[in-house]
Amino acid sequence: MTRDWFNVDNFDLPILQLGDDLEQKILRPLSCIMEHESKWVLEFDLPLVEKNDINVYNDEGMIVVEAKLREVYHDSKFTRHQYEYFKKSVSNPRNVDIKKISARFTNGRLVITIPKIFQGTKIKIED
């Protein structure tokens, strides 16, 4: 499990990451994925975003998160790039119930829960 967080309360945004799109003014949000017994949990840090400006969808085996920033973000530490959106795509894990995926957005953090499908055959325990 990889965690790469930044401080949502202070809205410290990441410096240019692999996959950021300068031309389209899109940042890749920091995220992590955690596996639990019955589900996968994806978390995305989306500071400077309102709930109504977030789109989450499942497209060809990918969970896609897009969000419009409520104000333009200027990267002034090294260069003067401007960003207006977050966007990130994550492959669906195997054996998940895509019809029961849910999402919750609180305090700049989007949490997507993906239930697992349990497949297999019950084995009878003999007396």
Integer-rounded Cα radius of gyration of the chain: 18
Report pLDDT for 79: 65
Residue ranges covered by each domain of the chain? 26-115
DSSP string across 37-83 = SSEEEEEEE-TTEEEEEEEEEEETTEEEEEEEEEEEEEE-SSS-EEE
Question: Which tokens is 73 given?
Answer: 């973000």
Q: What is the pLDDT of residues 59-71, one digit of tens each?
A: 888 999 999 999 8
Q: What is the pLDDT of residues 77-91, one digit of tens each?
A: 666 778 889 999 999
Distance CA 23, CA 63 (A): 23
Report pLDDT for 31: 92
Distance CA 127, CA 122 (A): 16
CATH fold of 26-115 reads Immunoglobulin-like (2.60.40)
Q: What is the pLDDT of residues 28-63, one digit of tens each?
A: 899 999 999 999 999 999 999 999 999 999 988 899
